[in-house]
Structure formats: C-alpha cells, structure tokens
Amino acid sequence: MRISVMYFASLREQMGRDSDQLDLEEGVTMAEIWQKVSDQCPQENLLCSRNKEYAQWDDTAVDGDEIAFFPPVTGG
Amino acid sequence: MRISVMYFASLREQMGRDSDQLDLEEGVTMAEIWQKVSDQCPQENLLCSRNKEYAQWDDTAVDGDEIAFFPPVTGG
Amino acid sequence: MKVEIRPEAYDPWVEIGAYQAALPAGSYGASAVFVGTMRDFNEGDDVESMLLEHYPGMTEQQLEELAQNSLKYHGLIDVMVLHRVGEVRPNDPIVVVAAWSAHRKAAFDACREMMENLKSVATFWKKEQLKEGVRWVEKNTAG
Amino acid sequence: MKVEIRPEAYDPWVEIGAYQAALPAGSYGASAVFVGTMRDFNEGDDVESMLLEHYPGMTEQQLEELAQNSLKYHGLIDVMVLHRVGEVRPNDPIVVVAAWSAHRKAAFDACREMMENLKSVATFWKKEQLKEGVRWVEKNTAG
C-alpha cells in the first residue's frame, strides 16, 4: 500500500524534508511508520495524526492514508 | 445633628421623594434612621450606605452624613 | 486605567480598540473582554426600553475600586470598565469590562471577577418598559 | 458561526464588531471575547517577529469542531474563532475567540474553554525570530 507522511515545524527541519511517499505492507502501525522514516522509536513530545485526526501509536494505516508527525502544538 | 437621606430606584418611587433632610440626635443607627423615615423595620432586600460606602444596620451616623437606602442592585 | 459611566450610547468594540491602541505596543499578550448588551426579551416578556439608574458618586467610586483591586491582585497591564446609564434600547451595550495582561490566565480571571463584582456591588438599578407597563428588575441572573 | 485562518494582519475589534452587527439585534445579552496578541518579549528574550505554521486542513477541521461543540454544549447564540498564520510582528493579534449568549455564564465559560481547547489541540506552531537567531516555541503557558 502507498501512504504519504508529512512533517511539521521543528520536526520538518530535523528531517530536512516536509514529506515522504512510502510503500509499506498493510497493517503497519504509526510507531512502525515513524521507525521506518526516522530509525527511532516514538519519543516523548512527538505527536502523530492519520487523515487529519490525532492518532495513537498503535493505530494502523491503510492504503492512501495521510500520516503526519509533529511536535507539541503552540498556537493561540 | 443634621443628615441627608437619599432613596433610589423602586424605593424612591415607594417613598414618593428622592431625599430627606433630618435633624436627629448623635449616635442614631442606620436601622433607626430607616424606622424614622418609613415607620418600618429594615426588611430583607433593603440596603443602606453611609457617605457612599455600604453600611451595616447598626452603624451610627454623625453630623453631615449622607445616608442612602435602596433595593438590591441590578447593573451590568 | 479607564473607568467611566456614560449617559450616551457607544460602540463597545470601537471603545476597546481605541483604548488598546494607546497601550504600550508589544507589552500585552492577552485581552479578555466582556460586553453586556440589552436584550429585547427578559423573563418571558418583550422589553421595549430600559431606564438605568445609578447613585452618582458612589457608583464611580465602586467601579474605580474594583478595577484598581483587579489590576493589582492579578498583576494586569491595564483595565477598562465602562457602564451606560439613562434610557437604553434593545441591542445597546450596557457594560464593557476589559483586562489586559501578559498571559491569558490573569486576563480571563480578572475580567470575569470584575464583572461578578460589578453585578453584586455597583449601585445601578434597571427599570424595564414592557408593552403592559413598567417593572423594576429585582435581581440579576446568576453568574 | 465563523471560523477562519487568516494569513494577513487584522484588527480584532473591527472583526468582532462587524460580525456582531450581523447577529439578530436584541437576541444576545452577553459577549465574551479573548484576543491573543504577539508580545515583543518571551521567556526573557526580545522577539523581533514570529512565524506561525499550521497543518492546512487539519487545523481548520479542529477549529470548526471546537467551535461547533461549544455552540451546542453551552447553548450559545453564536461563536467566532479567527487565527493568524504566516509572519507575525509584535503587537499583531494572533487569535480571536468570541462567544455570544443570552446570559453571561455561558459566554464566559465557552470563551475560555474554546481558548484552552485551541491551545491544547489545534495544530499551530510558533517559531520566534530573536536578535541572536531563531527558536521554536516548545510549549504553551499554562491557562
């Protein structure tokens, strides 16, 4: 399956890019996607979303999903 | 001693006047002043002030005081 | 600090904007504002107009005091309290309470507290003109 | 209901006044408003400007949802949420949250709650430009 992965704010700068397109097996979790793109486990102060809704680390992705990783929000 | 007594809002309408000038003996209390002008004891929902500060019923008046009686406030 | 009792109608947003424009630029991060406006409906009845009476001198002193206390207690940058008196029509603003501070907690707390203090102590009284006659408002809605 | 993400500077009081003017006259008795403004000082340092980034699509959806929830839960008459993005200068407004209701309790509660929800969930990020360089703001001040 094909998914897109986006990075925001300081995380985008750390990654050196704002997005990736990935081909992964069905049923992969958010934590596994993060490991794939960063070679790291999900650390504190890292958040993720799936199709523009906050997601849990053990949520699974399906084909066509838009996944995003980002630091804690600081708006308002 | 001479004091002025003011009435506000529905109380002014009930009294049929907005103020009185009274000659009273020193040491008279707010409750006694109210009885003097209304022939009634202080009832619930009646407030009083002395020189533009809220007063208690047993506070005493001195010469030249500005006393006021009024119903609960409803501003804002 | 601005505290005023106003016998004429005013636009609350213009008043706040003008007052804020004179504050030191970049100093405040939070503005919390409450505006009370006259409704055309109260306790089940249509209200055509309202007379807002106050105790001249005492009321100004109370508003000054509650604004000053809030300024100090909450460490605010500035405060504005503006209250209408006289004949008021539906949709006219009655009261404006505004608090400016560095961070939002102080502004929110101060604005609400000033408003509750104003409603419980300030010597204003409302008399409503209904189709069927007049009536004095006897108590305020709980805050 | 009005929810908007704005890439240009605006006057919050003009925005609120214009929006309120279109509400049914005489229907609302209470307006509670919060405006967050950029300060020129944060955590001990002078801040020259700020870049406000957001997640397009997700953020709009979050603001719509929190405004809609507040409208229903507090029985409000109307709600406005406006948030700036892009390059922001000191004294520029960042966020406006406004709630209109019949009585003050609902407006006060809703305004503060929407603001806290916005700060804790909405996908905005701030990057400050200091004299000495840039830094991402890592967390919000407690509410």
DSSP reduced 3-state for D45 = strand
* Shortest alpha-carbon distance between residue D16 and chain A (Å): 17
Q: How close is the nearest chain B Cα to the Cα of C29, in Å? A: 26
Cα B68 to the chain's mean position, in Å?
Answer: 4
Tell me the per-residue pLDDT of A37-57, one tens digit each, with 9 for 90 and over: 999 999 999 999 999 999 999
The three-class DSSP label of residue B57 is: coil
Average pLDDT over residues A10-22: 97
Mean pLDDT on D110-131? 97
d(CA A3, CA C118): 57
Q: What is the rounded average pLDDT of the residues C1-23? A: 98
Model confidence at C43, pLDDT cuts 50, 70, 90, reads confident
Residue C82 in domain: yes
CB proximity D29 to C under 8 Å: yes
How many domains, in total, are found in chain C? 1
Measured between beta carbons, the chain C residues lying within 8 angstroms of B6 are: 55
CATH number at residue D86: 3.90.1170.40
Q: List chain B domain ranges.
A: 2-70
Tell me, yes or no, if A10 comes closer than 8 A to chain D by beta carbon. yes
Contact residues on chain C for D115, CB-CB shorter than 8 A: 104, 108
CB contact under 8 A, A76 and D122: yes
In a domain, C118, yes or no: yes
Q: What is the pLDDT of residues D55-112, one digit of tens each?
A: 999 999 999 999 999 999 999 999 999 999 999 999 999 999 999 999 999 999 999 9
Residue D120 lies in a domain: yes
ipTM above 0.90, yes or no: yes
Question: For domain A2-70, which CATH number applies: 3.50.50.60, 3.40.50.1100, 3.40.50.300, 3.10.20.30?
Answer: 3.10.20.30
Q: Which of C27, C41, C104 to mutate to test the interface with D (most CBs of D within 10 A)?
A: C104
Nearest of A58, B14, D89, B69 to residue C136 by alpha carbon: B14
Report the 10 Å Cβ neighbour count for D24.
Answer: 11
Q: Give residue D143's pLDDT.
A: 86
CA-to-CA distance for D89 and C43, rounded, in angstroms?
Answer: 47
A touches D, CB cut-off 8 Å, minimum 3 pairs: yes
Q: Do D53 and A71 touch (CB under 8 A)?
A: no
The reported pTM is: 0.96
* Domain with C45 in it: 2-21+29-135
Report CB contact under 8 Å: B75, C57.
no
What is the number of other CB atoms lying within 10 angstroms of the CB of residue D46?
A: 14
Instruction: Examine residue C140 and state whether it is found in any structural domain, yes or no.
Output: no
Give the Cα separation of D96 and D82 in Å (integer).
5
* pLDDT at residue C7 is higher than 90: yes
Instruction: Give CA–CA dist C53/C87, Å, rounded.
Output: 9
Q: Is C140 on the interface with D (CB under 8 A)?
A: no
Segment B48-76 shows an average pLDDT of 98
Residue C142 has pLDDT above 90, yes or no: no
Give domain status of residue D142, yes or no: no
